[in-house]
Amino acid sequence: MIVGIPKETFHNENRVALVPAGVKELTKAGFSVVVESQAGANAGFPDTAYEEVGAEIVEKRDALYKKAEIVAQVRGLGANPDEGKKDVKLMRKGQINIGFMDPLSSKEAVKTLQGADVTSFAMELVPRITRAQSMDALSSMANLAGYKAVILAADRLPKIFPMMMTAAGTIIAAKVFIVGVGVAGLQAIATARRLGAIVHAYDIRPAVKEQVESLGAKFVEMDLGTAGAEDKGGYAKAMDEEFYEKQRELMTRVVAESDVVITTAAVPGRKAPILVTEEMVKGMQPGSVVVDIAAERGGNCEITEADKVVVKHGVSIIGTTNLPSGMAYNASQTYSKNVTNFLKLLASDGKIEINLEDEILRDSLVTHEGSVANERVKEVHGL
């Protein structure tokens, strides 16, 4: 069972799919690991660190694809639309590809993988069940993104977060408003509270109120009739435009009173809903900051531009995409653990076995034996 770890080719992607500690773990489980030279360099893992734990380093990418039965990456074809096509040309029939694939958004990528007869697993489709927590790469990355969003906001804001008693008087704590209380939102709340800010949070799922309050933040309640706002996987569902319009009306006052707004609302396979309008931004105090974690999916703020800091009406709107890549060392560590656990599930008695009775493997499998194997992907794309 040979696992290949190629160097990531997506623009500004610094993560690596497997760190040296993961190589050690997989070797014990009966795998051999081949790593493309410099694959881990940007994340702080040199080739020598891989060699020390028994990985083979190869200089040429095509050599890696020839050797490996399984290729594990951070970004597969759908999440790396341009450079990913070159990798598919290197793949052979029946080869297994694991990574973020964005299969719910990219029909073309799914069809390409199907046409190449590649068996592909999308890490973002790992079901949110207890048994799969150690493989939940979406949550691993969202956790880091929530932390980083607060750090970016604190750096940009011309105020400090904590209340401070000084000889020159009392400095009032900054007010932070978190929109969307999933994994990223909860980590953003915890980080902002650790820095001493006054934190309010809102989510369309009333059930998260207890989690918000347990972290020392105040839950903003809005009478919107949110029954059915959560899907069976525990994620917020997309609502209709009338719902979002009413939500925006009720949020306007809270946004105006906030020094920092952090938005985290993303729906898998869909454009992110607009939650913060330009009119709301106009009502904020000059110097305020909006950090839009959903920037990669179009953004929750009407003004957001991907990978830019837009200053409008005196407010900075930060649209940094791929926040985990900016913490590549730790992001690679956590993603590597997710991938390692997934591979160990995939292997049984020294051989690869795709057991479709297993909910985790079945739900994350996208293409297999020349067909689209995932019911959710088929439904979304009408396949």
Which CATH code is given to the segment(s) 2-136+328-372?
3.40.50.720
Show pLDDT as tens, one digit a residue, over the chain (383 residues).
999 999 999 999 999 999 999 999 999 999 999 999 999 999 999 999 999 999 999 999 999 999 999 999 999 999 999 999 999 999 999 999 999 999 999 999 999 999 999 999 999 999 999 999 999 999 999 999 999 999 999 999 999 999 999 999 999 999 999 999 999 999 999 999 999 999 999 998 888 999 999 999 999 987 765 555 555 555 555 666 777 777 777 889 999 999 999 999 988 778 998 999 999 999 999 999 999 999 999 999 999 999 999 999 999 999 999 999 999 999 999 999 999 999 999 997 778 989 999 999 999 999 999 999 999 999 999 98
Candidates 3.30.360.10, 3.40.1180.10, 1.10.10.60, 3.40.50.720; CATH matching 157-321: 3.40.50.720
Cα dihedral across residues 344, 345, 348, 354: positive or negative: negative
Rg (CA), the chain: 22
375 exposed, middle or buried (CB, 10 Å; 0-12, 13-18, 19+)?
exposed
- Cα gap 80→74, rounded to integer Å: 9
Cα dihedral across residues 81, 84, 88, 89: positive or negative: positive
- Cα gap 75→122, rounded to integer Å: 10
- Cα gap 88→92, rounded to integer Å: 8
Q: For the chain, where do the domains classified as CATH 3.40.50.720 start and end? A: 2-136+328-372, 157-321
- SS3 sequence of 219-252: ECCCCCCCCCCECCCCCECCCCHHHHHHHHHHHH
Instruction: From residue 31, give the alpha-carbon distance in Å to each of 7, 247, 338.
Output: 19, 51, 16
- Cα gap 118→332, rounded to integer Å: 25
- Cα gap 14→11, rounded to integer Å: 9
End-to-end CA distance of the chain: 32
Catalytic residues: 128, 133, 136, 139, 235
Q: 75: how many CB neighbours lie within 10 A of its CB?
A: 23
